Amino acid sequence: MRRRFFLKSAGIALAVSMLGACASHPESHSTTAGITAAHETDAAAWRAARRFAPLSFGKIAYVERGSGDAALFLHGAPLNGFQWRGAFDRLCNVRRCIAPDFMGLGYSEVPEHQSLAAADQVDMLAALLDSLGVSQVDIVASDSGGAVAQLFLVKFPQRVRTLLLTNCDTEPNSPPPKVMPAIEMSLAGTLAASTAAWLTDPAMARSTFGAAVFQNPNTLTNEVVETYASPVVSSPKRKAQYHAFHEALLPNPLAGIEAKLLRTDIPVRIVWGESDDIFSNEDAHYLDRTFPGSQGIRFVPGGKLFFQEENPDIIAEEALRLWKVD
């Protein structure tokens, strides 16, 4: 009992120390020099900071850090909010950074028959923000989180100040062809077993999944593999929901959205890993043409789908510029 209390207290203390770091290095506001963090958050600190919002959708896992205007960070699949730890380390001194885990991924706990479709993820996010007393956000999004971000914008335009999109779905490319094998494995009931194999063979995870989505597959450390894979295969219920999340990517959740995006007026910045073969550079150009408030594209040389984890300095630099933080 005393040992458990000590470990819990130590974890909380570590999380508090990380949160306190937000106010400790204001020099990192510069939008022209490289953005660096005084501390790098690891999985233990992220886990200690994780909270759960009791909503009608279930217990939604999230991490928040910082104060002031809120920024909402939306992760990709099969990741969770931990994807944005580096961005948090660099931006929590200028924003109240909030990173939820989508239903069906990460550590959110939702009822067995809860719909995991993108439209329901949008409503969950609105309820989460309401529960946190947040009326308006800057959104930073990746992958399937980018699809949810676009849907959130057209449903709740008054709640979005700015939008920073990284490699993600577009109406003409959702879901992309290279995601179809994961959807087919979900329909066959085998995707969870394939993902669970990462936990016993993280080197295999790096050579397959890691090589596909990171410029440097070693970004997918054993700790990162554990953080992403373990929750989605932790029980028969979670495995079924992991499959259901992917199955909900069909039909195209963005069908018909282009006309609505053409009527938006918020500032949008597109930051794109130019070596991604899942969401091509044409997807970035499509978004640039579609959003009237687009402030252009920054291509990241060598970057793949999840370049955000490898290049949090770039995310921070672009966010600060978009948010007009001096």
Q: Which amino acid is at 303?
A: G
Helix or strand run (H / E) with residue 162? strand 160-168
Given a contact cutoff of 8 angstroms between Cβ atoms, the answer to whether 64 and 100 are in contact is no
How much is the pLDDT for 36?
A: 66
What pTM was estimated for this model as a whole? 0.91
**150-199 tens-digit pLDDT:** 999 999 999 999 999 999 999 999 999 999 999 999 999 999 999 999 99
- What is the number of structural domains in the chain? 1
Task: Assess if residue 238 is contained within a domain.
Answer: no
> Among 264, 289, 288, 285, which Cα is nearest to 274's?
285
> Among 263, 265, 192, which Cα is nearest to 231's?
192
Kind of pairing between the strands at 51-55 and 137-143:
unpaired
How much is the pLDDT for 22?
A: 66
Residue 2 confidence (pLDDT) above 70? no
Task: Assess if residue 117 is contained within a domain.
Answer: yes
CATH number at residue 143: 3.40.50.1820
Mean pLDDT, the chain, rounded, equals: 92
Instruction: Provide the residue range defining the domain that includes 130.
Output: 35-175+253-322
How much is the pLDDT for 35?
A: 63
Task: Assess if residue 184 is contained within a domain.
Answer: no
Helix or strand run (H / E) with residue 39? none
What Rg value do the Cα atoms of the chain yield, rounded?
A: 18
Residue 58 confidence (pLDDT) above 90? yes
Residue 6 confidence (pLDDT) above 50? no
Task: Assess if residue 197 is contained within a domain.
Answer: no
Given a contact cutoff of 8 angstroms between Cβ atoms, the answer to whether 263 and 257 are in contact is no
**263-322 tens-digit pLDDT:** 999 999 999 999 999 999 999 999 999 999 999 999 999 999 999 999 999 999 999 999
For the chain, first and last CA: distance in Å? 49
**196-226 tens-digit pLDDT:** 999 999 999 999 999 999 999 999 999 999 9
Task: Assess if residue 257 is contained within a domain.
Answer: yes
Task: Assess if residue 211 is contained within a domain.
Answer: no
Residue 137 confidence (pLDDT) above 70? yes
pLDDT band at 103 (very low <50, low <70, confident <90, very high): very high
Task: Assess if residue 221 is contained within a domain.
Answer: no
Could you tell me the two tokens for 92?
């929590």
Task: Assess if residue 2 is contained within a domain.
Answer: no
